[in-house]
Amino acid sequence: MLTFFIVLIVFSILIIVHELGHLFMAKKVGVRVERFSLGFGKKIFGIKKGDTEYVLSLFPLGGYVKLAGDDPTNLKGTPEEFFSKSPLKRFLIIVGGPLTNYIFAIILFSLIFMVGTPSLTSRVGRLLEGYPAVSSGVKVGDLIVEIDEKKIEYWDDLVEIVKKDTGGVPLKFKIKRGKRILNLRITPKMVEAKNVFGQKTSIGMIGVSPEQDIVFVKHNPFQAAALGGKKVITLTIATYKGIWLLITGGLPIKESVSGPIGIAVLIGEAAKMGFIYLLIIMAHINIALAVFNLLPFPILDGGHVLFLGIEKLRGKPVSPRTQEMIGNVALYVLIAFALFVSWNDIMKFLPFMKK
């Protein structure tokens, strides 16, 4: 039950952040916001502040901002209506949601880097037979402190250097064993593996795995902010690359995509591991939400931006009827996709569906 409430709180926070972006930008450019709702369906309760009613609705997994004059077939011609504004101002309102998700992701990652990110040390926990580390004299418990005169503190540092193809040239390892310092030369063995996108690639391995010695790496606020921004950019690029691979068939949809059920499972698992892990998964979901909403697909924020672009090129908006027809088709496609990924999540994550 506690996991359920944690999942509900996380989803609610991410939705509120997104919709607050639309709300803030609408008010900034002078569009009246009639309703700000957390959830869909029947209103449970609400309060009115100024022109805006803030409500909690029956189904909490979602939310919306109701703008004055956002229906082009029912306009009153007042300056506070959405469609009375220029394409640029409407664009700012539309992208306000995803932009706020990005800002929130940077804040979350900055906080994570300040509090401390969990990292494995460079101490060897296990050796794999048939790989060069064994024949080169590496022992369990050795601490790898340098590779090719580059300081090594964490396991990720080691992996980043070793995985590159050295063309058969050995790497110079400096290893601490007790009070002794050893210098070894090890040539990584190139093996076939899969990257984060499930694609086959060739990486270097020396045949060691880390000891489960986790430390929390902390940074000052300025370093944390810079690392947070860099992390958001890296994850955004990786997410768009993953989407492109899904579209072109480079990634299997069934194995690579999760919906609300899968995300809820991940949030629950992260919550069990600790608060910092919950923040990490929240930051990742935040970026996924921003990227998904910016896709040029009708009914998403990116779809509205696409219609604005067409309007700018044509000199007049796409007719309401055409937008409605395209939106209805897109809605059915999106519902079908949501049902597909939800069923896939049920088959993957729910114990009674597993063989």
Is the pTM here over 0.75, yes or no? yes
Task: Determine the pLDDT at residue 232.
Answer: 95
- On whether the CB atoms of residues 39 and 61 are closer than 8 A, the answer is yes
CATH of span 118-217: 2.30.42.10
Task: Determine the pLDDT at residue 273.
Answer: 83
Domains of the chain by residue range: 2-116+229-353, 118-217
Digit-by-digit pLDDT tens for the chain (355 residues) are 677 788 888 888 888 999 999 999 999 999 999 999 988 888 898 999 988 999 989 887 778 999 998 887 788 888 999 989 998 999 999 999 999 999 999 999 999 999 988 889 999 999 999 899 999 999 999 999 999 999 998 999 999 999 988 888 999 999 999 999 999 999 999 998 877 666 778 899 999 999 988 888 899 999 999 999 999 999 999 999 888 888 887 777 777 788 888 888 888 888 888 888 899 999 999 999 999 999 999 889 999 999 999 998 888 888 888 988 998 999 899 889 888 888 888 887 765 445 4
Q: Name the nearest CA neighbour of 118 among 250, 4, 218.
A: 218
Task: Determine the pLDDT at residue 182.
Answer: 94
How do residues 178-234 score in pLDDT, each as one tens digit?
999 999 999 999 998 877 666 778 899 999 999 988 888 899 999 999 999 999 999
How do residues 275-301 score in pLDDT, each as one tens digit?
888 999 999 999 999 999 999 998 899
Of 19, 34, 81, 129, the active-site residue reads 19
Task: Determine the pLDDT at residue 60.
Answer: 73
315's CB contacts (< 8 A; 6+ apart) are: none
DSSP per-residue codes, 258-318: --HHHHHHHHHHHHHH-HHHHHHHHHHHHHHHHHHHTSS-TTSHHHHHHHHHHHHHHSSPP
Task: Determine the pLDDT at residue 350.
Answer: 67
What is each CA distance from 192 to 6, 156, 195, in whole angstroms? 40, 19, 10
132 Rama sector, left if φ>0, alpha if ψ -120 to 50, beta otherwise: alpha
Task: Determine the pLDDT at residue 110.
Answer: 96
Q: Any catalytic annotation for residue 34?
A: no
- On whether the CB atoms of residues 227 and 201 are closer than 8 A, the answer is no
Residue type, 178: G
- On whether the CB atoms of residues 296 and 303 are closer than 8 A, the answer is yes
Residue 181 CA, distance from chain mean position: 41
